[in-house]
Amino acid sequence: MATETSQHAIDTMLLEERTYPPTEEFARRANAKADIYDEDFEAFWEREGRERLSWFEPFSELYEWEPPYAKWFIGGTLNVCFNCVDRHVDEGRGAKPAYLWEGEPAGERREITYADLQRDVVRFANALKSIGVGKGTPVAIYMGMVPELPVAMLACTRLGAPHTVVFGGFSADSLSGRMVDMKCEVLITQDEAWRRGSTVPLKQTADEAMGDAPGVRASVVLRRTGNDVPMQDGRDHWWHELEDGVSDDPSSCPCEPMASEDLLFLMYTSGTTAKPKGIVHTTAGYLCGVASTHHYIFDLKRDEDVYWCAADIGWITGHSYIVYGPLCNGATSVLYEGTPDFPDKDRWWEIVERYGVTILYTAPTAIRSHMKWGPEFAQRHDLSSLRLLGSVGEPINPEAWIWYREHIGGDRTPVVDTWWQTETGMVMITPLPGVTTTKPGSATKPFPGVDAGVFDERGNEVGPGGGGYLVLKRPWPAMLRGIFGDDARYRETYWSKYENVYFAGDGARIDRDGDFWLLGRVDDVMNVAGHRISTIEVESALVDHHDVAEAAVCSRKDATTGEAIVAYVTLKGSAEASVEKLAELRDHVAKKIGPIAKPANIVFTPELPKTRSGKIMRRLLRDVAEERPLGDTTTLADPAVVSEIQSRAASGSSDEV
Ligand code: WTA
């Protein structure tokens, strides 16, 4: 452990030495073999572009890079819906399920084949045409996890209408802000959504939002729960009425030829304080990037696998790895409407067993919830169909990784920890399951054709072991094409720290084997007595203790050390909080990392504050630790959690060293 004030941008101290090489059997059948890394970057993407996508007009130039803007597959024309739906039917796979949908209410199930999907999309695209949606019409979509959500997205792409999907948990203000920013003319929504046995009033929220977004001239409303909702004459249309008598024959609504660089969708990401950024994704590069990564990383065997990405389509993960990547590859996917703990905490495992899921992709936050609930829920079900597990969204603590592999993957399945962002569109740093020797907590290597690195403040590469800033050094097909309507902010956010190099905003280190370890957002790095310590390392040391399910750490000001570490800890179901436990946890961190990383305070709490996409909000924890008024709480999934933590912190269930 270092004792002097360090020179590194971020100090790294936690050592994880377990390794998992791929089994021979997995490696032999894998889509990606070791030589995939030998291929030249241009040759790799050229081949992927030509082979993975079907073109109306092939591209003439691979890419053009005028920093900070890239263009890919220049001169080509294609259609996303054609690639995701029509071509599979044309090639004789119409009877293959695209989605195995499970509603949240008991017993609601639907199988949607590629032929069904084609009919549904054509019918709905024709319905949209009847209210004036065509090439270039901006459309907002505000729905739950129903099959009609991908149908609506695909219908837009069929017509060449760019969409923005707004997560169904967002408020009227968030929805209207996005619709105004994108100048949306049409909104697609539903009466209500099911969530944990109760209903979420989507149409009511949409009405409020449309009140503040006068540019929205029409809405289409899917009947989902069947409860009464107000409909405004001339503006609001029932989905089923608009489809009445409309053709579902593909020739009645041909796929619009789109240029490679035509706008496909905007996905808004909320910064912690500022206005959300409309991240721009275009047609060909995005589709190629997500299809290619999906094929190699998830090792998809199109005709054998049952793939399940248990995210929400309202986030980029759902766009890329529930809708566009898997459909482009002709996969069969599970689509689940509800929450993991309804009606009971084994719902996911029941689904895995029922459909024989072979590939599961989820987030560390979900894995840690399952850890907290205990492995007995998974043990009720036969999970032997699983052959590959994936993780995304946050750094995964080594113990959570091991738990996932052991209790869900039966200690057989590879685990792929995939690093990427809304902005990158596709996975960027990841193991390839038949090639990479994985390490719990490491996202391992850049995907073939991706050039990533770790820089110090001044833009020099940081050597093995040292922590710094994660950067991407050359363009990639699915990269963002800017922030919608805000060139200055695009340049400032991603391209001002280093020249012509993309700054991701995450800390990372590369070990001696060239494997990447993600250290969390750089804004969360703590400075204790001159040591720049990443939150994830202390959190992982805490989660390494057998009684801890989840931990979040942040820093508060301290007179002697500059900053002191405060930890918020959730214990596993049966464990009890006590003064002895506090001392034990502190010692555990000292043993795993070093005394410098010992939390000054520990607060036990049953829940941590998270965003609706499951990321821990350390900014709020800092406010609590410093007894400041709380900053913006609108993106919190459950605002009650913070007041609970505030009162626990104040009532002395925390402890000072
Ligand atoms: C974090 C989600 C560590 C990271 C696809 C990134 C991760 C942000 C990982 C993007 C991972 C995502 N390991 N951190 N495997 N995956 N992140 O835009 O901080 O919702 O910058 O995209 O999540 O979040 P976003």
Cα 419 to ligand 1 centre (Å)? 6
Pocket lining: 397 vs ligand 1, CB cutoff 6 Å: no
Cα 522 to ligand 1 centre (Å)? 12
Whether residue 139 contacts residue 179, with contact meaning beta carbons closer than 8 Å, is answered with: no
Cα 327 to ligand 1 centre (Å)? 23
Cα separation, 191 vs 171, in Å, equals 15
Residues near 89 by Cβ (< 8 Å), separated by ≥ 6? 114, 115, 118, 250
Per the model's pLDDT, the better-predicted residue between 483 and 596 turns out to be 483
Whether residue 443 contacts residue 491, with contact meaning beta carbons closer than 8 Å, is answered with: no
pLDDT the model gives residue 651: 67
Q: Which long-range contacts (CB under 8 A, 24 or more apart) does 5-9 make?
A: 5/529, 5/530, 5/531, 6/530, 6/531, 6/532, 8/456, 8/462, 8/466, 8/467, 8/468, 8/532, 9/455, 9/456, 9/457, 9/462, 9/466, 9/467, 9/468, 9/469, 9/507, 9/532
Residue located nearest, by CA, to atom 3 of ligand 1: 395
Mean pLDDT check: name the lowest of 148-162, 400-414, 524-538, 539-553: 524-538
Pocket lining: 392 vs ligand 1, CB cutoff 6 Å: yes
Residue given tokens 């190699």 in the structure block: 296
pLDDT the model gives residue 638: 84
pLDDT the model gives residue 657: 32
Distance, CA of 379 to chain centre: 27
Instruction: Tell me which of 266, 394, 534 to substitute to probe ligand 1's pocket, judged by most ligand atoms within 8 Å of the beta carbon.
Output: 394
- Orientation angle between helical segments 579-592 and 535-543, nearest 10 degrees: 120
Residue located nearest, by CA, to atom 15 of ligand 1: 419
Give pLDDT tens digits for 491-544. 999 999 999 999 999 999 999 999 999 999 998 889 998 888 889 999 999 999
Reported confidence tier of residue 177, pLDDT bands at 50, 70, 90? very high
Residues near 349 by Cβ (< 8 Å), separated by ≥ 6? 377, 378, 380, 381, 383
Pocket lining: 429 vs ligand 1, CB cutoff 6 Å: no
Cα 382 to ligand 1 centre (Å)? 31
Distance, CA of 354 to chain centre: 25
Pocket lining: 518 vs ligand 1, CB cutoff 6 Å: yes
Q: How many helices (H) and strands (E) does the chain have?
A: 21, 29
pLDDT greater than 80 at residue 146 = yes
Residue located nearest, by CA, to atom 10 of ligand 1: 421
Pocket lining: 395 vs ligand 1, CB cutoff 6 Å: yes
Pocket lining: 54 vs ligand 1, CB cutoff 6 Å: no
Pocket lining: 316 vs ligand 1, CB cutoff 6 Å: yes
pLDDT greater than 90 at residue 641 = no
* 147 DSSP assignment: T
Reported confidence tier of residue 2, pLDDT bands at 50, 70, 90? very low
Pocket lining: 367 vs ligand 1, CB cutoff 6 Å: no
- Kindly give the number of the ligand 1 atom that is closest to the alpha carbon of 417: 15
Cα 195 to ligand 1 centre (Å)? 25
Give pLDDT tens digits for 323-352. 999 999 999 999 999 999 999 999 999 999
pLDDT greater than 70 at residue 1 = no
Residue located nearest, by CA, to atom 24 of ligand 1: 421
Cα 422 to ligand 1 centre (Å)? 8
Q: Mean pLDDT for the chain?
A: 94
DSSP codes, 495-518? HSSSTTSEEEEEEEEE-TTS-EEE
Pocket lining: 521 vs ligand 1, CB cutoff 6 Å: yes
Pocket lining: 269 vs ligand 1, CB cutoff 6 Å: yes
pLDDT the model gives residue 611: 86
pTM of the predicted protein model: 0.93
Cα–Cα distances in angstroms (integers) from residue 650 to residues 553, 569, 600, in the given order: 17, 15, 15
pLDDT the model gives residue 631: 75
Strand order in the sheet with 359-362: 109-113, 97-102, 333-336, 307-309, 359-362, 388-391, 415-417
Closest CA to 638 of 31, 196, 219, 310: 196
pLDDT the model gives residue 4: 43
- Kindly give the number of the ligand 1 atom that is closest to the alpha carbon of 418: 15
For the segment 8-25, the average pLDDT, to the nearest whole number, is 84
Pocket lining: 297 vs ligand 1, CB cutoff 6 Å: no
pLDDT the model gives residue 8: 76
Cα 267 to ligand 1 centre (Å)? 15
pLDDT the model gives residue 592: 87
Pocket lining: 418 vs ligand 1, CB cutoff 6 Å: yes
Residue located nearest, by CA, to atom 5 of ligand 1: 421
Cα 393 to ligand 1 centre (Å)? 4
Pocket lining: 394 vs ligand 1, CB cutoff 6 Å: yes
Reported confidence tier of residue 272, pLDDT bands at 50, 70, 90? low
Pocket lining: 121 vs ligand 1, CB cutoff 6 Å: no
Residues near 169 by Cβ (< 8 Å), separated by ≥ 6? 200, 314, 612, 637
pLDDT greater than 80 at residue 13 = no
Cα 556 to ligand 1 centre (Å)? 24
- Kindly give the number of the ligand 1 atom that is closest to the alpha carbon of 536: 3
Reported confidence tier of residue 630, pLDDT bands at 50, 70, 90? confident
pLDDT greater than 90 at residue 634 = no
Residue located nearest, by CA, to atom 13 of ligand 1: 395
Instruction: Tell me which of 268, 421, 470 to substitute to probe ligand 1's pocket, judged by most ligand atoms within 8 Å of the beta carbon.
Output: 421
What is the rounded (10 degree) CA torsion for 107, 112, 116, 117? 120
Pocket lining: 517 vs ligand 1, CB cutoff 6 Å: no
Cα 363 to ligand 1 centre (Å)? 10
Pocket lining: 83 vs ligand 1, CB cutoff 6 Å: no
Cα 476 to ligand 1 centre (Å)? 17
Cα 174 to ligand 1 centre (Å)? 21
Pocket lining: 393 vs ligand 1, CB cutoff 6 Å: yes
pLDDT the model gives residue 113: 98
Reported confidence tier of residue 442, pLDDT bands at 50, 70, 90? very high
Pocket lining: 288 vs ligand 1, CB cutoff 6 Å: no
Pocket lining: 422 vs ligand 1, CB cutoff 6 Å: yes
Residue located nearest, by CA, to atom 23 of ligand 1: 393
Closest CA to 85 of 122, 56, 124, 47: 122
Give pLDDT tens digits for 552-595. 999 999 988 889 999 999 999 888 889 999 999 999 999 888 88
Cα 642 to ligand 1 centre (Å)? 23
For the segment 602-620, the average pLDDT, to the nearest whole number, is 90
Here the tokens at position 228 are 């009464």
Cα 592 to ligand 1 centre (Å)? 25
